[in-house]
Structure 1
Amino acid sequence: MYKEILVGYDGSQASQKALERAIEIAKLSGANLHIVGVIRPFEFGAVDIYTIEEIEAYEKEEISKEEKYLKNAAELAKQNGLEPKLKVLEGEPAEELMSYADENGCDLIVVGRRGVGGFKRLLLGSTASSLVKYANQSVLVVV
């Protein structure tokens, strides 16, 4: 059974489904639950267009938004008898989730599937796809 479960959460419907499944698995296996949100940094090429203050305001707003999402996710976990660990990271989502999982001894990563355009049924989102290919842990992609 799993001992440390990481769920990638961004407030989307797909990540909500992943959270619900991660909670079920954590309850069944007695595992600890880690709910992690990742914000993407401001695009480096845009630095010439925006001021430092605008970039800092954007990043502060994104962090605040992600913290709100994680707080809501934590409430659902607590209603199910779990005390989740919450973390907001900044960077490329798949890389950050894999690093967090490695550093925290997570043995399962749970994420939602993301569809793109008309190929929704055929393609995994880039984060889910990268995790499936490169993570050192088992990965559950929730549809």
Structure 2
Amino acid sequence: MAFKKIVVGYDGSQYANNALKKAIEVAKCSNGEVYIVGVIKPIDFGIVDYITPTEIEEYEKEEISKEEKYLKEAIKIVKESGLKAFYKVLEGDPSEEIMSYADEVEADLIVVGHRGLGGFKRLLLGSTSSELVKYAKQTVLVVKS
């Protein structure tokens, strides 16, 4: 199967860089397009009572700016490989947002890095890669190294 549209979850980490490299490798096989997505988590409703709307707005602007910086660096890497690349910053639960975006662009493949959380931490925090593997309509490639 040729993967023509590949969505990559990206946060600037080494795990995300490894996933991006693998997505580029796969996309080169079929002259595919790479869609890089960064997801910022909204402020927890539990603390909304303790911060002002201005502080919330500043937080969101700062997080979006940080994500855009990471994504623009990733776009540069993909374009240097001779492939078409696009990016988008989303807000919400990472696995849900990545799946929704993959559906929106009609992606064939989702590529994400794996942080390797073990045991108790994984139970408490969940795992974006695990959620994607379980629920995404697309093929999911989890890059572990």
Q: How does 1:40-79 map to 2 (within 5 A)?
A: 40-79=41-80
Task: State the partner residue of 1:142.
Answer: 143
Output the CA distance in 2 between the equivalents of 1:100 and 1:59.
20
Task: State the partner residue of 1:101.
Answer: 102
Identity of aligned residues (%): 64
Whether the 8 Å CA contact 2:11–2:67 is kept in 1: the answer is: yes
Supply the AA of the counterpart residue of 2:91: E
Shift of 1:116: 2.1
Q: Cα deviations across residues 78-132 of structure 1 (Å, max 9, x unaligned)?
A: 1101120110000000000000111111010000001225789xxxx61000000
Output the CA distance in 1 between the equivalents of 2:84 and 2:137.
25
Output the CA distance in 2 between the equivalents of 1:14 and 1:86.
18
Q: Cα deviations across residues 9-32 of structure 1 (Å, max 9, x unaligned)?
A: 000110000000001111111111
SS, match of residue 84 in structure 1 = strand
Q: How does 1:1-143 map to 2 (within 5 A)?
A: 1-116=2-117, 126-143=127-144
Whether the 8 Å CA contact 2:111–2:141 is kept in 1: the answer is: yes
In structure 1, runs of 5+ residues without a counterpart are none
SS, match of residue 12 in structure 2 = coil
Output the CA distance in 2 between the equivalents of 1:142 and 1:52.
38
Shift of 1:135: 0.2
Q: Cα deviations across residues 51-73 of structure 1 (Å, max 9, x unaligned)?
A: 11111101110000000000000
Output the CA distance in 2 between the equivalents of 1:117 and 1:131.
17
Q: Cα deviations across residues 1-51 of structure 1 (Å, max 9, x unaligned)?
A: 111100000001100000000011111111111011110011111111111
Scaled by the length of structure 2, the TM-score of the pair is: 0.91
Whether the 8 Å CA contact 2:24–2:34 is kept in 1: the answer is: yes
Output the CA distance in 1 between the equivalents of 2:66 and 2:12.
9
- Across the aligned residues of Structure 1 and Structure 2, the Cα RMSD in angstroms comes to 1.5
Supply the AA of the counterpart residue of 1:87: K
SS, match of residue 17 in structure 1 = helix
In structure 2, runs of 5+ residues without a counterpart are none
Output the CA distance in 1 between the equivalents of 2:134 and 2:87.
25
Q: How many residues align?
A: 139
